[in-house]
Amino acid sequence: MGKGLMVQKFGGSSLANVERIQNVAKRIVSYKKKGYDLVVVVSALGDTTDELIKLANRINPEPSEREMDMLLSTGEQVSVALLAMAIHKLGYEAISFTGIQVGIITDSSHTRARIIKINTDKIKQELNNDKIVIVAGFQGVTFNQDITTLGRGGSDLTAVALAKELNAKECEIYTDVEGIYTTDPRIEPKARKLEAITYDEMLEMASLGAQVMQARSIEVAKKFNVPIHVRSSFSKKSGTMILREVKKMEDVVVSGVTVNKSEAKITVCNVPDRPGIAARIFKELAVHGISVDMIVQNVSHLRQTDISFTVDKIILPKVIKLTKQIAKDIKAGDVLQDEDIARVSIVGVGMKSHPGVAAKMFEALAENRINIEMISTSDISISCIIRKRFAELATRAIHKKFALAK
Ligand code: ADP
Ligand code: ASP
Ligand code: MG
């Protein structure tokens, strides 16, 4: 009698060279020996996706999104085949599939497609043949047979969606750190590994820059209550569980600190200060599918004001072009761009019931003479925009201020 089905996802860093691929194959086989049925999801090897993006940009700085998906989806196809071969070499049966082959059907929003449904027949059939099934992460296909991708880090989403659809007992995410930490352990070596974290906190941390899990994958996990175990592919230690609820001994006010350097700030100068203008700017951006992060409007002088907002750098050229047109239409002044910013944030569900959390964060920055340029808050997070060169210093200072270290 089998032990049930397990979905295991291995990130690019876990597959960066031949030895690592062999190592991953050994781990998978060890679970097969224990009696698990296995569906394995893999990312592209090492930095393949970044390299492919660079290559595309050298050919055309504004590549078509459809062609981008066609290109990027090749990375994961390499991984599934090599991993299947590595498992065969160990004497076990495995079969690889692309997202298209297993029928991961998505909408047609290229580079950030949403999963509509998954046909699991093919996977189930191969599991019945006692094979280890290896699926390419990050990719899907539209009803029109166009290849799509699920946004950066999208293999996490493939894994969670398959775990849900196949009713897996466990969904393991293998990466190059031992779990979810109080902050990126590469920035603060004293960061502490969390035993468990709630979907809500993980979602907030991921949205605010902790790239260890893709935010959308956590949304899906939360919606369908899929428990996730994030752990290292280089050790046997258990990692961090991501769950609906986590019992903590004491009130933890702040669970983690995140940093995000992938945003840019845009400022529209000398905007006429009258009702309806902000609505006009942001409606126009929304119509073009642009989601804006922080927004700040300065105090008005002489019936004119500056409005600043942040967007993901990837869409900066498009946003600048559009904003310049809007500025002209509403008779505003110059449009300035600034890529030299970083967002540092604190996240914690305990924040709701504790006053003074923001003040403490600002203090940590002040003590290090770091100027705050923009601030935004949610129920369970506070973010500050600062100069990019202070990102690491700020992260460590805030981490220390809230006593998050081991
Ligand atoms: P993979 O290739 O496995 O998908 P990623 O690079 O996407 O790996 O994510 C793992 C990285 O996330 C880690 O190497 C770490 O530097 C970074 N990271 C950022 N914030 C955190 C955090 N709070 N806890 C753990 N890792 C984090
Ligand atoms: N290879 C894709 C990326 O780098 C998907 C993933 O790694 O999850 O974004
Ligand atoms: Mg990742």
User: Contact 381/204 with Cβ under 8 angstroms?
Assistant: yes
| Residue 112, ligand 2, Cβ within 6 A | no
The whole-number pLDDT of residue 350 equals 86
Q: How far is the CA of 92 from the centre of ligand 1 (A)?
A: 30
Measured between its terminal Cα atoms, the distance across the chain in Å is: 42
CA 280 – CA 258 distance, rounded (Å): 32
Task: State the pairing for strand pair 132-136/36-42.
Answer: parallel
CA 139 – CA 78 distance, rounded (Å): 13
Q: What is the pLDDT of residues 265-302, one digit of tens each?
A: 999 999 998 899 999 999 999 999 898 989 998 877 78
Q: Closest ligand 2 atom to the C-alpha of 44?
A: 1
Question: Closest by alpha carbon to 273, among 303, 299, 307?
Answer: 303
Q: What is the DSSP letter of 181?
A: B
Q: How far is the CA of 375 from the centre of ligand 2 (A)?
A: 30
The whole-number pLDDT of residue 399 equals 98
Does the pLDDT of residue 86 top 80, yes or no?
yes
Query: Going by CA atoms, what residue is nearest to atom 5 of ligand 2?
Result: 153
Q: What is the pLDDT of residues 292-336, one digit of tens each?
A: 989 998 877 788 899 999 999 988 998 999 999 999 999 999 999
Tell me how long the chain is: 406
The whole-number pLDDT of residue 61 equals 85
Does the pLDDT of residue 1 top 80, yes or no?
no
State how far the alpha carbon of 155 is from the alpha carbons of 99, 125, 204, in Å: 10, 22, 19
The whole-number pLDDT of residue 250 equals 63
Q: What is the pLDDT of residues 101-128, one digit of tens each?
A: 999 999 999 999 999 999 999 999 999 9
CA 218 – CA 225 distance, rounded (Å): 10
State how far the alpha carbon of 384 is from the alpha carbons of 24, 124, 188, 231, in Å: 39, 47, 19, 30
In testing the pocket of ligand 1, which one of 49, 138, 175 has its CB within 8 Å of the most ligand atoms? 175
Query: Going by CA atoms, what residue is nearest to atom 25 of ligand 1?
Result: 180
Q: How far is the CA of 63 from the centre of ligand 2 (A)?
A: 18
User: Contact 359/312 with Cβ under 8 angstroms?
Assistant: no
pTM: 0.94
Q: 162-185 burial, b if ≥16 CB within 10 A, otherwise e? A: bbbbbebebbbbbbebbbbbbbbb
Least confident range of 49-53, 248-252, 379-383:
248-252
In CATH terms, 4-176 corresponds, of 3.40.50.12500, 3.40.1160.10, 3.40.228.10, 3.30.1300.10, to 3.40.1160.10
| Residue 208, ligand 1, Cβ within 6 A | no
User: Contact 76/42 with Cβ under 8 angstroms?
Assistant: yes
Return the domain boundaries, the chain: 4-176
Share of the chain above pLDDT 90, in %: 90
Q: What is the DSSP letter of 130?
A: T
CA 256 – CA 203 distance, rounded (Å): 12
The whole-number pLDDT of residue 249 equals 59
Question: Closest by alpha carbon to 359, among 384, 379, 378, 342?
Answer: 384
How many helical (H) and strand (E) elements, i.e. helices and strands, does the chain have?
11, 20
Share of the chain above pLDDT 70, in %: 99
| Residue 76, ligand 1, Cβ within 6 A | no
Q: What is the pLDDT of residues 336-367, one digit of tens each?
A: 999 999 999 999 988 888 889 999 999 999 99
Query: Going by CA atoms, what residue is nearest to atom 6 of ligand 1?
Result: 212
Question: Closest by alpha carbon to 199, among 180, 181, 179, 222?
Answer: 222
The whole-number pLDDT of residue 209 equals 94
Q: What is the helix (H) or strand (E) element at residue 286, kind and residue range?
A: helix 277-287
User: Contact 55/43 with Cβ under 8 angstroms?
Assistant: no
Mean pLDDT along residues 247-272: 90
Q: Closest ligand 1 atom to the C-alpha of 256?
A: 23
Q: What is the pLDDT of residues 13-62, one digit of tens each?
A: 999 999 999 999 999 999 999 999 999 999 999 999 999 999 999 999 88
Q: How many C-beta atoms surround the C-beta of residue 106 within 10 A?
A: 25
Query: Going by CA atoms, what residue is nearest to atom 8 of ligand 2?
Result: 153
The whole-number pLDDT of residue 338 equals 97
Question: Closest by alpha carbon to 196, among 159, 249, 245?
Answer: 245
pLDDT, the chain, mean? 95
CA 140 – CA 69 distance, rounded (Å): 10
Q: How far is the CA of 11 from the centre of ligand 3 (A)?
A: 6
